[in-house]
C-alpha cells in the first residue's frame, strides 16, 4: 500500500500591517510545531509593501530584525509574486489542480491585523477557491472592526462597556467637540484605540485631556476610525473557541498585565505579565464566560478559531465582552495555544484540527451553487 500523500500547507505571514513583526513570530512557532510527517510546508512571506515571496524564513527574519525581504532585483513598491509553478500569478501561487504536484492544499494564514485578518486576504483566497484556516470574509471583517463588532454584540444581548466612535475627519474638523463629548459621556480614564487593529497596537490609556489628545492622534495614525472606551476597574479574562458550525470552547484564563493595561509591550516584549490558566474564578462565572464566547462566535459568523476577551467589573461583578481576535497569535506566549493545552489539546494537535476545519469548511462551500 502506497504512502499517504502529505497535505501541502502554505504558511502565509508578514503583510502590510502594524503587526508585521508579531506575524513573523507566529509563523516561526507554527512552522516549528507542525508535524513534518503529515504536512509539507510552503512558507509564503508578504512584505510591508505587499509583495508575495515564496520561501521566506520567518526565523531568520526575526533574528535579523527585518521585515520580509523583497527578492533580489525587485524594485521597492513593485507587486511581485513568486509562483509555485512557473506562471507568476496568484492562481499559480496557490494552485489547487491535482496534476500540479506543487499545489497547495490549504493556506494557514498567520497574518495579524489589517490586510491579513480583516477579510482582505480571506477574500483573495475565496476568489482563488483555496481552503484556508480561520474565519471567512464576513467574520474576519466584523472581528477586526471594533465598532461593528460591539454593535452586533449589543444586538444579540451581549453586554459591552460604554464607548463612543468617531472618524478621523471629524476629529480634524472639530476636535474640541469630540473631546467635550468624551469627557461628558465617558469621563476618565478612557482607552483610545484604532477601530481596526490588534495586538494592542496604537492603544493608549488617557487620564486627562492632554493624554486624551495624544492618544487620539496616535490612534488616528493607524486607522480612519477611532474607538474610545470607558476605563473599567476590572480583571481581564480570555477563552479560546475552536470549530465551524458546532464550536467548542476552552477553559477560561486570566491575564494580569505587567503594565497599567495589557499593551503591546506587556504582550510581546517584557514577558512580565502573568497568565493564570485556569482562571481563579467561581465555576458559575467561568461557565457564563464560556457561554458568552460561543454566543459571540456564532453572532459574528466566525469559523475555525477565535480568542474571545472579557472584563469582570470588580465594582459590580458584571461580566462584559471586550472583543474577539479571529487570528490570535501563535507565539510561545500565545494565550490561544496555552488555553487549548490546558483544555487537553496540545499545540501540534491544535494545528491538525485547524487544518481539518479549514478543509471541512472549504468542502462545504463547494456545495453552494454559483450559477442559475
Q: pLDDT tens across 286-300, in order?
A: 999 999 999 999 999
Residues annotated as catalytic (active site), given as ranges: 19, 199, 334
Cβ atoms of residues 37 and 67 within 8 Å? no
CATH code for residues 163-230:
3.30.1490.20
Look at the block and give the residue holding cell 477563552: 239
Do the annotations mark residue 233 as ligand-binding?
yes
Do the annotations mark residue 311 as ligand-binding?
no
Domain boundaries 7-132, CATH class: alpha beta
Alpha-helical regions (H) of the chain: 20-33, 58-64, 90-93, 120-127, 137-144, 146-155, 168-173, 175-185, 209-222, 264-268, 283-299, 335-342, 347-365
Do the annotations mark residue 236 as ligand-binding?
yes
Do the annotations mark residue 309 as ligand-binding?
yes
Q: For residue 323, which phi and psi values (nearest 5 degrees)?
A: -165, 170
- Residues 225 and 204: their CA atoms lie apart, in Å, by 15
Per-residue pLDDT of the chain (372 residues; tens, 9 = 90+): 456 789 999 999 988 877 788 888 899 999 998 999 999 999 998 888 777 887 777 777 666 666 655 555 444 443 334 333 333 445 555 544 444 446 889 999 999 877 889 999 999 999 888 999 999 999 999 999 999 999 999 999 999 999 999 999 999 999 999 999 999 999 999 999 999 876 567 899 999 999 999 999 999 998 999 999 999 999 999 999 999 999 999 999 999 886 565 444 444 444 567 899 999 999 999 999 999 999 999 999 999 999 999 999 999 999 999 999 999 988 757 899 999 999 999 999 999 999 999 999 999 998 888 777
Superfamily of domain 143-159+233-359: ATP-grasp fold, B domain (3.30.470.20)
Task: List, in sequence order, every residue forming a beta bridge with 10; answer none if it has no partner.
Answer: 42, 107
Do 163-230 and 7-132 have the same topology in CATH? no
Do the annotations mark residue 153 as ligand-binding?
no
Do the annotations mark residue 208 as ligand-binding?
no
- The predicted model scores a pTM of 0.86
Domain range annotation of the chain: 7-132, 143-159+233-359, 163-230
Alpha-helical regions (H) of 203-320: 209-222, 264-268, 283-299
pLDDT digits over 119-150, tens only? Answer: 999 999 998 889 999 999 999 999 999 999 99
Amino acid at each position: 500500500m502506497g504512502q499517504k500523500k502529505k497535505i501541502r500547507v502554505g504558511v502565509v505571514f508578514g503583510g502590510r500591517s502594524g503587526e508585521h513583526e508579531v506575524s513573523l513570530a507566529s509563523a516561526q512557532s507554527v512552522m516549528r510545531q507542525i508535524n513534518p510527517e503529515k504536512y509539507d510546508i510552503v512558507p509564503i512571506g508578504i512584505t510591508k509593501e505587499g509583495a508575495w515571496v515564496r520561501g521566506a524564513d520567518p526565523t531568520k527574519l526575526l533574528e535579523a530584525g527585518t521585515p520580509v525581504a523583497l527578492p533580489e532585483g525587485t524594485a521597492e513598491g513593485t507587486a511581485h509574486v513568486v509562483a509555485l509553478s512557473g506562471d507568476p500569478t496568484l492562481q499559480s501561487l496557490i494552485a489547487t489542480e491535482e496534476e500540479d504536484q506543487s499545489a497547495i492544499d490549504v493556506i494557514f494564514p498567520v497574518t495579524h491585523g489589517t490586510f491579513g485578518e480583516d477579510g482582505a486576504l480571506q477574500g483573495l483566497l475565496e476568489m482563488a477557491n483555496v481552503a484556508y484556516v480561520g474565519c471567512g470574509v464576513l467574520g474576519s471583517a466584523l472581528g477586526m472592526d471594533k465598532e461593528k463588532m460591539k454593535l452586533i454584540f449589543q444586538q444579540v444581548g451581549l453586554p459591552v462597556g460604554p464607548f463612543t466612535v468617531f472618524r478621523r475627519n471629524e476629529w480634524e474638523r472639530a476636535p474640541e467637540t469630540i473631546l467635550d463629548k468624551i469627557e461628558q459621556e465617558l469621563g476618565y480614564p478612557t482607552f483610545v484605540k484604532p477601530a481596526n487593529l490588534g495586538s494592542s497596537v496604537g492603544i493608549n490609556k488617557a487620564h486627562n485631556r492632554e493624554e486624551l489628545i495624544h492618544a487620539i492622534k496616535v490612534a488616528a495614525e493607524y486607522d480612519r476610525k477611532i474607538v474610545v472606551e470607558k476605563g473599567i476597574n476590572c480583571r481581564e479574562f480570555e477563552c479560546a473557541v475552536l470549530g465551524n458550525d458546532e464550536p467548542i470552547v476552552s477553559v477560561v484564563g486570566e491575564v494580569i498585565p505587567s503594565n497599567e493595561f495589557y499593551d503591546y509591550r506587556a504582550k510581546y516584549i517584557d514577558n512580565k505579565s502573568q497568565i493564570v490558566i485556569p482562571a481563579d474564578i467561581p465555576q458559575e462565572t467561568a461557565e457564563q464566560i464560556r457561554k458568552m464566547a460561543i454566543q459571540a462566535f456564532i453572532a459574528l459568523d466566525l469559523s475555525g478559531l477565535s480568542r474571545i476577551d472579557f472584563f469582570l467589573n470588580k465594582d459590580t461583578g458584571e461580566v462584559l465582552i471586550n472583543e474577539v481576535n479571529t487570528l490570535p497569535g501563535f507565539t510561545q506566549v500565545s494565550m490561544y495555544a496555552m488555553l487549548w493545552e490546558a483544555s487537553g489539546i496540545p499545540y501540534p494537535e491544535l494545528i491538525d484540527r485547524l487544518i481539518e476545519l479549514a478543509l471541512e469548511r472549504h468542502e462545504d462551500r463547494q456545495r453552494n451553487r454559483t450559477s442559475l
